[in-house]
Amino acid sequence: MASGNDMRAATETYAGFTALVKWGTVVTTIVAVGVILLIAS
């Protein structure tokens, strides 16, 4: 099993990854809606 310091680093890395995925999803959704509205008009 990983030591305490390794687990702390892994947890921080995972938290950064999940935040990036969350904001990436939000931005992608906004862009997709904008493109759909642009095409529909």
DSSP 3-33: -HHHHHHHHHHHHHHHHHHHHHHHHHHHHHH
Whether pLDDT at 37 is above 80: yes
Q: Using one digit for the tens of pLDDT, what is the confidence trace for 3-36?
A: 667 888 889 999 999 999 999 999 999 999 999 9
pTM, rounded to two decimals: 0.71
Using DSSP's 3-state secondary structure scheme, residue 2 falls into coil
pLDDT of residue 4: 67
Whether pLDDT at 1 is above 70: no
